[in-house]
């Protein structure tokens, strides 16, 4: 798949999600042009579907019975990662926070009462 077509697919998926994700019957799939039907979403959700689709397609190609249904062939799949995964982002934020110097005059800054820290402590990554 060319980079231009991949960019077109990403734009179509993004537009479809923005316009339809609040609809009751929203499905994460869209037609791109007349040639491509695209499913999009989290890789962990789509990988099992990809494996099943490929298995069924190859099985249908080998079948000799006339009742075999037409099974769509997966032409290409790719993973688009716009941002690092959540764990990496959280780790980066905690590392950044750990390097923030304390205020020069702590009495002039608001601090949470001690009982807040006892009830709502955060895990260390």
Is 124 within a domain?
Answer: no
Is 112 within a domain?
Answer: yes
Please answer whether residues 16 and 30 qualify as being in contact, where contact means their C-beta atoms are separated by less than 8 angstroms: yes
Please answer whether residues 17 and 44 qualify as being in contact, where contact means their C-beta atoms are separated by less than 8 angstroms: no
Predicted pLDDT of residue 1: 73
Same domain, 56 and 92: no
Predicted pLDDT of residue 102: 76
Answer with the residue of higher pLDDT: 51 or 118: 51
Three-state SS annotation for the chain: CCHHHHHHHHHHHHHHHHHHCCCCCCCCEEEECCCEEEECCCHHHHHHHHHHHHHHHHHHHHCCCCCCCCCCCCCCCCCCCCCCCHHHHHHHHHHHHHCCCCCCCHHHCCCCCHHHHHHCCCCCC
Is 67 within a domain?
Answer: no
Same domain, 58 and 93: no
Is 80 within a domain?
Answer: no
Query: Is residue 109 pLDDT above 80, yes or no?
Result: no
Predicted pLDDT of residue 114: 52
Is 105 within a domain?
Answer: yes
Q: 14-72, pLDDT tens digit by residue?
A: 899 999 989 999 898 989 888 888 888 888 888 888 898 999 888 888 888 888 888 88
Residue-range definition of the domain harbouring residue 91: 86-119
Same domain, 56 and 93: no
Is 70 within a domain?
Answer: no
Same domain, 16 and 48: yes
Same domain, 93 and 50: no
pLDDT band at 85; cut points 50, 70, 90: confident
Domains identified in the chain, total number? 2
Is 43 within a domain?
Answer: yes
Question: Pick from 20, 47, 62: which residue ends a domain?
Answer: 62
């Amino acid at each position: 798949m060319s980079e231009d077509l991949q960019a077109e697919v990403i734009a179509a998926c993004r537009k479809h999600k923005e316009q339809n994700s609040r609809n009751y019957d929203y499905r994460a799939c869209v037609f791109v042009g007349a040639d491509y039907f695209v499913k999009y979403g989290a890789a962990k959700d789509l990988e099992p579907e990809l494996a099943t689709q490929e298995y069924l397609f190859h099985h249908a190609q080998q079948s000799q019975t006339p009742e075999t249904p037409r099974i769509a062939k997966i032409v290409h799949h790719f993973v688009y990662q716009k941002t690092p995964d959540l764990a990496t982002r959280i780790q980066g934020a905690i590392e950044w926070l750990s390097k923030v110097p304390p205020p020069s005059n702590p009495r002039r800054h608001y601090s949470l009462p001690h009982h807040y820290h006892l009830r709502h402590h955060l895990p260390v990554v």
